[in-house]
Amino acid sequence: MTDDSLQSREAALLRAIQRDLPLLSTLLEEMSGHWQYEDGIYRFYHQSFKVYALQNATLRLVDALTSLSPSGTLDAWFSQIVADGTGKTFQPEHNQRWLAETRPILEAFFHAKYMLEMVCKYGRELHEPPNLLPSGWAAVLSLYGLR
C-alpha cells in the first residue's frame, strides 16, 4: 500500500468517525455510565451472574466500531479478545472458576470501550490525519488495519 493510499484511507476513516460522532458519543456516554461501566464492573467483584450482561454492551460497542470499517473487519487480536469475552452463558459451576470465566468478559468490554473512547476523542480533536501519531489515534488505526 502506498503512503498516499494509506493517507487516503486514514482520512476516509476520520471522516466516517466525524460523520457518526454524535451517535458514537452518545454510545460512549451510555457505556461510561452507571448501568454499564459502574454496575457491570461491580458485578464482577460481587460475583454476580449479572456481569454476563456486559457481553451485550461489548457487542454494541463492537457493532459501532465495525460500522466505521470499510471492510467490515477489525484487528485480529481485538476480534479474538471480543470472541473470548462474549457468547458466554452463566452456569452455576462458573462460580468455582469465577476469574477464568468472567475476566474475559471484562477484558473484552474494556478493550471495546477504550477503542470507542479513542475514536470519539480523536474524531473531535483531529481535522486531518496527523503525521506524528498520538498513541490513541495509532491504536484506532491499528484497529482498522491502517498501522
Residue 147: CB partners within 8 Å, gap ≥ 6? 133, 138, 141
- Residue 1: which pLDDT band, with cuts at 50, 70 and 90? low
pLDDT band at 3 (very low <50, low <70, confident <90, very high): confident
Give the model's pLDDT for residue 32: 98
Instruction: List CB contacts of 13: < 8 A, sequence separation 6 or more.
Output: 68, 70, 140, 141, 144, 146
DSSP labels, 4-20: HHHHHHHHHHHHHHHHH
What average pLDDT does this structure show over 104-118? 98
Q: What is the pLDDT of residue 2?
A: 77
**At a CB cut-off of 8 Å and minimum separation 6, what does 70 contact?**
9, 12, 13
Digit-coded pLDDT (tens) for 52-96: 999 999 999 999 999 999 899 999 999 999 999 999 999 999 999
List, for residues 115-147, the tens digit of each pLDDT value.
999 999 999 999 999 999 999 999 999 999 999
The structural domains of the chain, with segments of one domain joined by +, span 3-143
pLDDT tens-digit readout, 21-35: 999 999 999 999 999
